[in-house]
Amino acid sequence: MKKTDNIESPKKKRTGAYNKRRGNSYETKIAKELRDLGFKDVVTSRSESKKMDNNKVDLVDPSGKLPFYPQLKRTINTPQYFKIREESTVDPKKFVLFWNKQEAKEKNICSIGECVILDKVFFYELIKKYVED
């Protein structure tokens, strides 16, 4: 038996750079999904508009066809939707939060599902539009 067989290696702490990289990849993934849905001009606000990025909007559509302002979170804990929305100056009714729920496993963190959190009035508008079409 080796000396190291009994010793548990210390759990590696994830750095801010690790979390930022994971968040950026999630933004890129959702931007691609929205482009695939027909919003061809959607890009990350990091690449397009520092002002929007600072305003809690992670994806932008320069053509103006995207009907909401998305903020994306890839976290273990539930994001504070109302707090984040208050920190933004965009129309609060059209502020939408995409959440990729994460779960810590032994060696890594993985997704256990995704959801979207949005204003109820805006949700009803979307349903109405869906029914009309």
Residues in the chain: 133
Cα pseudo-dihedral 100, 111, 106, 108, rounded to 10: -80
Question: pTM to 2 decimals?
Answer: 0.83
Is the residue at 47 inside a domain?
Answer: yes
Alpha-carbon span 105 to 123, nearest angstrom? 34
Residues ≥6 apart with Cβ < 8 Å to 92: 85, 86, 119
In a domain, 23, yes or no: yes
Tens-digit pLDDT string for the chain (133 aa): 555 555 655 556 667 787 788 888 999 999 999 999 999 999 999 888 888 988 999 999 999 999 999 999 999 999 999 999 999 999 999 999 999 999 988 888 889 999 999 999 999 999 999 999 7
Q: Which residue has the tokens 């750079």?
A: 17
> Any residues with CB less than 8 A from the CB of 17 and at least 6 apart, and which?
none
Q: Indicate whether 8 belongs to any domain.
A: no
Cα–Cα distance between 23 and 37 in angstroms, integer? 21
Cα four-point dihedral sign 66, 69, 75, 79: negative
Total number of domains in the chain: 1
Q: Which domain holds residue 109?
A: 14-132
In a domain, 83, yes or no: yes
